[in-house]
Amino acid sequence: MTLSKLSLRNAKRQARDYLVYFVTLVMAVSFMYAFNNLIFLEEVQTLAESIAMLPLLIVLASIVVVCIIGWFVSYTTRFMLQRRSREFGTYILIGLENQQVAKLFFLENLIVGGFALVIGILLGSFLFQMMRAIILTLFDMPYKFAYTVSLRAVLLAVLYFLFIYLYAQRKSRRRIRSMKIYDLIYFEKQNEGIVIQTSKKRRKIFTASIVLGVIGTLLLLMGSAVPGILGAACIIVFLYGFFLSFASGVPAFFEKRPAGKYQGQTLLIFRTLTAKLATVGTLMATISLLFTAVLVSEGTGQCIHAILSNRAKQESCFDLFISVEAGENDYMSDYSDYIEKNVPVKEYRLYDIYLNDNTQIMDHIEKYTEYYRYYDGDTMMKFSDYAALRKMLGYPEVTPVSGTYLVHCQYYLKDIMENYKKPLPIGDSELMPGGVYTEYMNQNWSGNGHQYILVVPDEVLADRAVNHRIYAAMTVEPVSEAQYQAISSIMQRIYEESAEMEYYSSFYAGSVVKAEAASGIVMMVFPLYYLALILTMTAAAILTIQQLAETDHYKRQFVLLGKLGMDRREMAKALRGQFIIYYVMPAVPPVLISVPFIYNLGKGAEPGIMIGTSSPFMITLAALALFFFFYAVYIVLAYTGLKRNVLPE
Amino acid sequence: MLEIRNIEKYYGSKNNVTKALDRVSFCVADGEFIAIMGASGSGKTTLLNCISTIDTVSAGDILLNGENIADLSAGELAGFRRERLGFVFQDFNLLDTLTIEENIGLALSLNHADPHMVRQRIEEISVKLGIVDILEKFPYQVSGGQKQRAACARAMVAGQSLLLADEPTGALDSRASKNLLEIMTQMNREMGATILMVTHDAYSASYARRVLFLKDGRIFNELLRGERSRSVFYHEILDILALLGGDISDVI
């Protein structure tokens, strides 16, 4: 039997015994390949100018991913080396040189890694098609399935993979070369010495770390840079301190309550856990840290996505929307001249926005929500203009009732406005509330009012001074990048000309707003999810590998317990208990830290943005759901595997 | 207390049957200390496994306090093991994640004993077995002899009536062996424990009041100590072993 044949056989066995590792490797490669494919996708580069940064961001994210997967592979390889040290010792015992054994192990890992690479790339190209579909949908472009393999992306994936593997294998090679037969054969015994150590110092660390954890979370919630960094540092110290000292905290807890530990399966569950923590405390802390990073990235991703897409919805409802402050010069004609000549328009409306003499409505709103006072009076528009805008946007028709005013506001103000029943004085007349509408109508800053506008009968506004003029239009074709640039330069020119007069104008093109939001989402949210997914998978896989490695230990334990008369149901219960705590523990601190963080992040956005399915509560829930979905897959895999192998028939 | 009636145990398939136990019958009275001796493959561990309900017999009956253990369901068997039987194994079989105290208390918590009583019961038994000082330690921190005494404590702490010991001195040096056997004798005499010990070591067997010799699955001979001294009894056991044949003499 040649070395390479033995390697091949061992590789098969490795893929089977460490299936979780293999699957995670495949998934990691496929994600890496799919994301890197975006770099070379020409379609993407033409989508929007701002997306040119995407390749750089993906490469940066990939470098982080390479480091994480490198750590994962290196950790697992070292772990396998420990588990199989007796086998390697036997090879040396029967006459193989250390170098040959190192080569054997290297080949074996190369075969497993190579397979993972090939399968990962095949899978990744489907994943890439999914991502392409998502991106094109975001940009309102037609998607057609086209199975392509980009040679450059493959080469890049291979390159990343070589970095990961060579790093991990170099370490194990050095380790095998310097090992003596005795060490290899008795490697397992070396570990057993350090099962549990208790000391007062650890108890102190335990208390201190909990305090630091709370402080760290509070600092993170403050939301600015310096406290944020300090908070993150506190949390890192907390996690390591907590997991390293937890093992001693539990016995101390039971020392004070001696009866508690003999209750039901408590004894077995907690001892198994503390024994495990004593040996893998650092690892648990690292995993907890990774989980925190996962939840924070997923929450941030959710948040950015919600902010960008919801803002865009508000600002992109008209194909063209120009607002100019009223004054001596009619700058609006500068715009309309250009548009008339260059942009085919289906329908347009030029209308005025007025201010009331009081802020009665603003005062009411301010009572219930945080509101930024952008105008000195409540904004108003004529009913005829309003009806025309509704028609242009395809919203249902509204019939006027004399003596009333309507409110058109952002959705979050709906209840507040519907509860308002007081008459509203405008000049000499007094109007009663007549209804509330909340469709998108560009209601930010100098648009159709800032988040709300009052729609009043035309005659009420007849003699009132205009605050700003608006040109709103639907175009035949979406406004192109060139048209957008041209209109922007007009705006720039007006700004410069009117510097002294301080004429303010603003301009939105629906297609450009959408494209910018889409490219923002692709550039910020995609890399965040990319990192989050890879982190979840590697961390969960390492936990699972650790857990499955305990199979023999659990088996011995349950055989003995069976002899002592524990029945199968109780064993299953104890196993489940051990399992739940093992997997829940590293997830508890991340959840406690990230839930307030994400919630707070969602609250931080301007009002009216984080509502409905993207309310702070919902995005927190979504981030947790996404994380626990992938985590649960690993937990179920590990539990079914372990239960089958461990519990006696 | 224990009655073994004509039990038989076969292993293997139709064409290749191995008879591990062949019509074995004997009785154990309350408070007895019996040793079962035999070479490897003589069926002594099979016999112990059948009595301890870990294995089932092919034919015959095992009655403990008049109750036939073959009639019990799996759940009842587990309960039976918990409440009536105590085990001491060659390799101690203590859980290495639990302290000595917790290992002993485990037997009680499996029996759903009142958690407040546990500590007291452990103290009582560990004073008797001389392991009070090591209660806080983990199995890897104590000697083999201490581990085995802890195993004895676990076997007795829940008030089990029958102590089954499988080569209890197998992994101990001679001093620790002597110490353990004296403790077992003490448990037998002072605490009224009924002990059934399987061994292939004549020295260990000489501590028992009665020795059964097993060969090829059958009871070959039986020896009672009566009023003789232990050393005389030891020599008599050796004589019987010589009769049993060469294969066992090499372990003496």
Lowest mean pLDDT among A183-192, A227-236, A485-494: A183-192
Cross-chain residue pair A566–B110, CB shorter than 8 Å: yes
Shortest CA distance from A192: residue in chain B: B140
Cross-chain residue pair A268–B93, CB shorter than 8 Å: no
Smallest CA-to-CA distance from A635 within A592, A579, A577 is with A579
pLDDT, position B111: 79
Smallest CA-to-CA distance from B6 within B59, B51, B54 is with B59
pLDDT, position A95: 81
Q: Which of B51, B85, B91, B109 to mutate against chain A (most A CBs within 10 Å)?
A: B109
Has residue B88 got a pLDDT over 60?
A: yes
The strand pairing partners of B2, in sequence order, are: B28, B64
Average pLDDT of the residues in A137-163: 86
Cross-chain residue pair A564–B54, CB shorter than 8 Å: no
CA atoms within 13 A on the CB side of B186: 14
The strand pairing partners of A333, in sequence order, are: none
Structure tokens at A649: 């028939």
Integer Cα distance of A276 and A281 in angstroms: 8
Strands A404-409, A429-437: pairing kind: parallel
Smallest CA-to-CA distance from A339 within A509, A504, A502, A150 is with A509
Where does residue A264 fall: left (phi above 0), alpha (psi -120 to 50 degrees), or beta otherwise?
Answer: left
Q: Of A193, A275, A565, which is closest to B97 when you measure between CB atoms? A: A275
**Chain B partners of A258 at a C-beta cutoff of 8 Å?**
118-119
Smallest CA-to-CA distance from A347 within A408, A391, A315 is with A391
Q: What SS3 state is found at B212?
A: strand
Q: How far is A641 from chain B (nearest CA, A)?
A: 22
Render A430-498 in DSSP notation, one character per residue: EEEEEEEE-S----STTSSSSSEEEEE-GGGGTTSPEEEEEEEEEESSPPPHHHHHHHHHHHHHHHHHT
Q: How far is B214 from chain A (nearest CA, A)?
A: 24
Q: How far is B70 from chain A (nearest CA, A)?
A: 16
Integer Cα distance of B34 and A454 in angstroms: 101
Lowest mean pLDDT among A528-532, A537-541, A559-563: A559-563
Smallest CA-to-CA distance from B38 within B182, B175, B205 is with B205
Integer Cα distance of A86 and A48 in angstroms: 59
Cross-chain residue pair A262–B108, CB shorter than 8 Å: yes
Cross-chain residue pair A565–B140, CB shorter than 8 Å: no
pLDDT, position A193: 43
CA atoms within 13 A on the CB side of A609: 22
Q: Which of A194, A197, A567 to mutate against chain B (most B CBs within 10 Å)?
A: A567
Q: Of B82, B97, B115, which is closest to A272 when you measure between CB atoms? A: B97
pLDDT in tens, A347-382: 999 999 999 999 999 999 999 988 889 999 999 999
**Chain B partners of A582 at a C-beta cutoff of 8 Å?**
none
Smallest CA-to-CA distance from B203 within B176, B221, B222, B227 is with B176
pLDDT, position B251: 44
Those residues whose C-beta lies under 8 Å from the C-beta of residue A594, and which sit 6 or more positions away, are: A292, A295, A296, A299, A623
Instruction: Output A162 or A189, whichever has higher pLDDT.
Output: A162
Average pLDDT of the residues in B200-212: 92
pLDDT, position A401: 87
A255 interface with B at CB cutoff 8 Å: no
Q: Of A260, A275, A564, which is closest to B87 when you measure between CB atoms? A: A564
The answer to whether the complex's ipTM is over 0.90 is no
Taking CA atoms, B61 is separated from B25, B70, B85, B247, in Å, by: 9, 7, 17, 30
Q: Of A264, A268, A564, which is closest to B82 when you measure between CB atoms? A: A564
**Chain B partners of A274 at a C-beta cutoff of 8 Å?**
97
Cross-chain residue pair A267–B75, CB shorter than 8 Å: no
Taking CA atoms, A239 is separated from A67, A308, A553, in Å, by: 21, 33, 27
> Do the beta carbons of residue A414 and residue A436 sit within 8 Å?
yes
**Chain A partners of B108 at a C-beta cutoff of 8 Å?**
262
pLDDT, position A188: 57
Those residues whose C-beta lies under 8 Å from the C-beta of residue A114, and which sit 6 or more positions away, are: none
Q: Taking CB atoms and an 8 Å cut-off, how many pairs form between chains A and B?
A: 81
Average pLDDT of the residues in B7-32: 86
Instruction: Output A226 or A2, whichever has higher pLDDT.
Output: A226
Smallest CA-to-CA distance from A293 within A531, A464, A92, A61 is with A531
Structure tokens at B148: 């085995």
Q: How confident is the model at residue A471 (pLDDT cuts 50, 70, 90)?
A: very high
Amino acid, res. A507? F
Length in residues, chain A? 649
Integer Cα distance of B202 and B251 in angstroms: 9
Integer Cα distance of A496 and A633 in angstroms: 60
Smallest CA-to-CA distance from A583 within A618, A625, A630, A530 is with A630
Average pLDDT of the residues in B114-133: 88
Shortest CA distance from B75: residue in chain A: A567
pLDDT in tens, A439-463: 999 998 889 999 999 999 999 999 8
Which residues of chain B approach chain A closer than 8 Å at the C-beta?
52, 54, 74-75, 78-83, 85, 87, 93, 95-98, 102, 105-111, 113, 115-116, 118-119, 138, 140, 154
The strand pairing partners of B62, in sequence order, are: B4
Integer Cα distance of B26 and B3 in angstroms: 6
Q: Of A193, A271, A567, which is closest to B78 when you measure between CB atoms? A: A567
Average pLDDT of the residues in B181-200: 90
Render A227-240 in DSSP notation, one character per residue: HHHHHHHHHHHHHH
Integer Cα distance of A487 and A302 in angstroms: 33
pLDDT, position B249: 45
Q: How far is B95 from chain A (nearest CA, A)?
A: 7
Integer Cα distance of A131 and A33 in angstroms: 12
Q: What SS3 state is found at B137?
A: coil
Cross-chain residue pair A259–B116, CB shorter than 8 Å: yes
The per-residue pLDDT of chain B, averaged, comes to: 86
Shortest CA distance from B160: residue in chain A: A564
The strand pairing partners of B35, in sequence order, are: B197, B211
Integer Cα distance of A375 and A446 in angstroms: 9
Taking CA atoms, B172 is separated from A26, B24, B46, B131, B167, in Å, by: 50, 30, 23, 17, 10
Lowest mean pLDDT among A262-271, A295-304, A532-541: A262-271
Cross-chain residue pair A557–B95, CB shorter than 8 Å: yes
Q: How confident is the model at residue B245 (pLDDT cuts 50, 70, 90)?
A: low
The per-residue pLDDT of chain A, averaged, comes to: 87
Strands B59-64, B2-12: pairing kind: antiparallel
For A307-336, b where at least 16 C-beta lie within 10 A, e where not — what string? bbbbbbebbbbbbbbbbbbbeeeebbebbb
Q: Of B78, B102, B105, which is closest to A565 when you measure between CB atoms? A: B78
* DSSP 8-state code for residue B214: E
Integer Cα distance of B237 and A69 in angstroms: 66
Q: What SS3 state is found at B110?
A: helix
A191 interface with B at CB cutoff 8 Å: no
Cross-chain residue pair B119–A193, CB shorter than 8 Å: no
Length in residues, chain B? 252
Cross-chain residue pair A262–B80, CB shorter than 8 Å: no
Structure tokens at B62: 């095992």
Cross-chain residue pair B102–A193, CB shorter than 8 Å: no
Lowest mean pLDDT among A286-290, A327-331, A594-598: A327-331
Cross-chain residue pair B79–A567, CB shorter than 8 Å: yes
Structure tokens at A606: 């301007």
pLDDT, position B217: 87
Q: How far is B192 from chain A (nearest CA, A)?
A: 21
Integer Cα distance of A85 and A91 in angstroms: 10
Integer Cα distance of A194 and A205 in angstroms: 19
pLDDT in tens, A422-436: 999 998 899 999 999
> Do the beta carbons of residue A385 and residue A457 sit within 8 Å?
no
Integer Cα distance of A407 and A437 in angstroms: 6
Q: How confident is the model at residue A189 (pLDDT cuts 50, 70, 90)?
A: low
Cross-chain residue pair B109–A567, CB shorter than 8 Å: no
> Do the beta carbons of residue A279 and residue A195 sit within 8 Å?
yes
Backbone angles phi, psi at A318, to 5 degrees: -100, 145
pLDDT in tens, A3-61: 788 888 888 888 777 888 999 999 999 999 999 988 888 777 777 777 888 888 889 99
CA atoms within 13 A on the CB side of A438: 11
A566 interface with B at CB cutoff 8 Å: yes
Lowest mean pLDDT among A52-56, A179-183, B23-27: A179-183
Cross-chain residue pair B80–A565, CB shorter than 8 Å: yes
Structure tokens at A117: 């690479």
> Do the beta carbons of residue A125 and residue A149 sit within 8 Å?
yes
Shortest CA distance from B49: residue in chain A: A563
Integer Cα distance of A129 and A389 in angstroms: 39
Has residue A321 got a pLDDT over 50?
A: yes
Has residue B182 got a pLDDT over 80?
A: yes
Where does residue A36 fall: left (phi above 0), alpha (psi -120 to 50 degrees), or beta otherwise?
Answer: alpha
Cross-chain residue pair A262–B79, CB shorter than 8 Å: no
Average pLDDT of the residues in A323-337: 86
Integer Cα distance of A5 and A80 in angstroms: 19
Task: Report pTM.
Answer: 0.84
Task: Please count the other Cβ atoms lying within 10 Å of the Cβ belonging to residue A204.
Answer: 12
First to last CA, chain B: 32
Q: Is A395 exposed, middle or buried (0-12, 13-18, 19+ CB in 10 A)?
A: middle
Has residue A503 got a pLDDT over 80?
A: no
Q: How confident is the model at residue A502 (pLDDT cuts 50, 70, 90)?
A: low
Cross-chain residue pair A193–B93, CB shorter than 8 Å: no
A560 interface with B at CB cutoff 8 Å: yes
Average pLDDT of the residues in A570-574: 87
For A24-48, b where at least 16 C-beta lie within 10 A, e where not — what string? bbbbbbbbbbbbbbbbebeebeebb
Task: Please count the other Cβ atoms lying within 10 Å of the Cβ belonging to residue A435.
Answer: 14
